[in-house]
Chain A
Amino acid sequence: MSSLSRIGAVVAKEFIHLVRDRRTLAVVLAMPVLQMLLFAYAISFDVKNVSTVIIDTDHTPASQAYVRSYQSSDFFTVVGTAGDLSAVDRVFDHNQARIAVVVPSGFGRTLADGGQATVAVYLDGSEPTAARVGQAFSTALNQVYGQRVTIEWADTQGLDVTGFGQLEPRVRTWYNPEKRSSDFLIPGLMVVIIMVVALQQTAVSLVREREQGTDEQLAISPMRRWEMMVGKVTPWTLLAFLDLAVITVVGIVFFHLPLRGSTLVLALGAALFVFCSLGLGLVISAVAPSLESANMLGLLLSMLPAFILSGFAFPLASIPVALQVVSCLFPARFMVTIARGVFLKGAGFGELWPELAALGGYAVIALGIAVVLYGRRRR
């Protein structure tokens, strides 16, 4: 009886477990598609059409012209106008608007006198993304509008300001010109799902052997520890790659995700990342005292870092430095960079080798720790 047939016996057994456990099977197979639908349609980080209420207490042609600049912008949807400031509280409380723009009386006269007119912009901070973007756009809008007013004023005074070096920024977004969330999220989602499948399931399935007492029966068989581990992780490796393929195909076909770079680099990165996740899963299964704690630890070490500390949902540069350091302890951030690089930037081995090397190193260390922990059989 060779190692290979013993490993084969374990793999076959694992697939029987999987087929009998309909819930886990459904989760593993349906999760990628469900999450993609969720992230691509329901959750969007695109900020558009921020509901805005306008309070114009000036009622001059100048104030009306200013208000029109909001109405004509894509970023603001003017949902109503009101007569006085007390309306701000009301519309915020009823979630009717996220932004209130107040044009004070005397706005038109101040401008006509060549003075600096002020407008008040109130933001509903309970939805920070919309508020932050709304602030940025209203500031920009004010600048543009202010500039136009200045030029108009200079014109009426017979001055020529065109020679004063006007600066006009032209912003172009590369790689994802329409700034679609789905392009940005799907490569990251891939990382989350691989991590959950490979890490969580590995951790849980090994601890289950211990809780069922079957590990003692395995211990008195001629099967060696590593044969058992290989047999255990093989099905989850296959499923992780299946999920990866499903996400890639669905992403390309339904979400028009571009695949610009080297598929080989993506596959290599994914393979290394799967090994990292398996290693972490094995470490968890070695230290977790019970099935519940293995589940919790698995969730904690797969979902959280993959979502928060990988650049998947929040740019790594915008999280605190301490957390940026912590993020290096999890392989997800490297894989997110690789996935986005390959899909969106058309990157290949030349650009992504540092991340690939990091994953490779991580995999060796994680699997090494797992082997040491399992070698020290606590009995």
Chain B
Amino acid sequence: MSATSAPAIEAAGLSRRFGDVQAVDGVDLSIAKGAVFGLLGPDGAGKSTLIRMLATVLNPDAGEAVVQGFSVTRQPGKVTPLIGYMSQKFSLYPDLTVAENIDFFAKLRGVPKDVRHTRMHQLLQGMGLDEFVDRQAGRLSGGMKQKLFLASTLMHSPDVLLLDEPTTGVDPVSRREFWRILAGLHRQGTTVLVATPYMDEAERCTDVAFIDSGRIRHRGSPEQIKALVPGRLFEVRAADPRAALAALHTLAATHALRGLLAVHLYGDIVRVLIETDDAGSITSALEAAGIGADVQPSAVDMETAFAFLAELATTP
């Protein structure tokens, strides 16, 4: 069964430049079949460019990618029947109804008429959209539009789903529902590559990669990513968090507090990464600096992990 163990997506040195901007810079990537792979990174990191190259709608300047065993540059016609691609922008016809949109794209994709009918109702029912079949797509809410787009993408039962920020601008309830649908697809064995700027969504992925300035900085399972964060995490609550932050920076610079790796402000909480298990050393150091604070140990989540990994990368 070597065929099943081959990755669904494999990229080597994939690069694309737009003018002066190197959008994607030599990306190597291997995504196992059946994975839910989260592509994380800030706006402009290169997520869309990478996904569009994998979807064959954009040609790479250099490098190669293979999707389900076919080259995106040399055999795009073999790749496209196997993939579903949701662009970042809602890309269905706003003046066509839900049913007309789904039927049109499925017809182009060669889905037989009887299959089209049953599968459409099955998908729409599963997404709670079945009562809106005759509504024009442009009149749906943001969350419903994204579900419709996903349904349209799923009509030809693709093996690989490429989703470019499908939940951006979608309300939290719809986001959760969208991820419930993705979990269902994952159980059916569909490989999902999903780009997202939301770190909480990364927790739901089997694998993640953090991309910044066109390069993949870290990758692994969420647990592996969190394990990359050195030291222990503490949350510092003070009356004046900014003063506490400044004091901690000073303590680090003067080596008054040993083993301090990184400090950053998260809302009203100062998060401290330090090579010690002792909360007391932080409390007493802050007290010496004239700041009363409550210090509690905390667990590293994905958001914290990427924030610290990004900070550690810039301040070695």
Contacts and interface: CB of A to CB of B under 8 A. Distances in A.
Contacts of A5: 107
Interface in A13-54: 13, 16-17, 20-21
A21 B94 CA distance: 11
B93 A214 contact: yes
A214 B92 contact: yes
Given A212-B91, A212-B93, A220 B59 contact: no
A222 B108 contact: yes
B57 A220 contact: yes
Contacts of B89: 213
A95 interface: no
Contact of A16 (B80, B95, B108, B152): B95
Contact of A220 (B56, B94, B100, B136): B56
Interface in A231-264: none
B109 A222 contact: yes
Interface in A209-229: 212-214, 216-223
Interface string B222-248: 000000000000000000000000000
A20 B109 CA distance: 24
A9 B110 contact: no
B266 interface: no
A6 interface: yes
A1 B112 CA distance: 8
Contacts of B58: 379
Interface residues of A, number: 22
B57 A219 contact: yes
A379 B108 contact: no
User: Which range contains the number of B residues in contact with the other chain?
Assistant: 20 to 34
B227 to A, nearest CB: 37
A214 B100 CA distance: 14
Interface in A148-185: none
B77 interface: yes
A218 B80 CA distance: 11
A222 B156 CA distance: 12
B221 interface: no
A213 B107 contact: no
Chain B binding site: helix, strand, loop or mixed by DSSP?
loop
Chain A binding site: helix, strand, loop or mixed by DSSP?
helix
Contact of B108 (A6, A212, A216): A6
A17 B93 CA distance: 9
Given A6-B108, A13-B96, A16-B100, A220 B55 contact: yes
A217 B87 CA distance: 9
Contacts of A214: 91-93
A377 B91 CA distance: 19
A263 B90 CA distance: 48
Contacts of A17: 93, 95-96
Contacts of B136: 20
Interface in B101-152: 104-105, 107-110, 136, 152
B100 A221 contact: no
Contacts of A219: 56-57
Nearest to B156: A221
A69 B108 CA distance: 76
B290 interface: no
Contacts of B77: 222
B37 interface: no
Nearest to B88: A213
Given A217-B105, A220-B80, A379 B92 contact: no
Given A16-B100, A17-B95, A223 B108 contact: yes
Interface in B132-182: 136, 152
B80 A222 contact: yes
A5 B96 CA distance: 19
B57 A20 contact: no
Contacts of B306: none
Contact of B95 (A1, A10, A20, A222): A20
Contacts of A212: 91, 93-94
A223 B106 CA distance: 11
Contacts of A21: 95
A9 B109 contact: no
A323 to B, nearest CB: 39
A217 B91 contact: yes
A379 B87 CA distance: 15
B247 to A, nearest CB: 50
B96 A16 contact: yes
Nearest to A209: B93
Interface in B71-94: 77, 80-81, 83, 85, 87, 89-94
B92 A9 contact: no
Counting chain B CB atoms within 10 Å of each CB, the highest count among A16, A216, A220, A222 belongs to: A220
A216 B87 contact: yes
Contacts of B92: 214, 217
A9 B107 contact: yes
A9 B108 contact: yes
B93 A216 contact: no
Given A5-B107, A16-B100, A222 B81 contact: yes
B281 to A, nearest CB: 55
A5 B52 CA distance: 28
Q: Which 10 A-B pairs have the closest CB atoms?
A: A213-B91, A1-B110, A221-B108, A220-B80, A20-B95, A9-B107, A213-B89, A216-B57, A379-B58, A223-B108
Interface of B: 52, 55-59, 77, 80-81, 83, 85, 87, 89-96, 100, 104-105, 107-110, 136, 152
24 contacts: A1-B107, A1-B110, A6-B107, A6-B108, A9-B107, A9-B108, A13-B93, A13-B96, A16-B95, A20-B95, A213-B87, A214-B91, A216-B55, A216-B57, A216-B91, A217-B92, A220-B55, A220-B57, A220-B83, A221-B108, A222-B77, A222-B80, A222-B81, A379-B58
Interface of A: 1, 5-6, 9-10, 13, 16-17, 20-21, 212-214, 216-223, 379
Given A6-B108, A16-B100, A21-B95, 12 more contacts: A6-B107, A9-B108, A13-B93, A16-B95, A17-B93, A17-B96, A214-B92, A216-B87, A217-B85, A220-B55, A221-B80, A222-B81
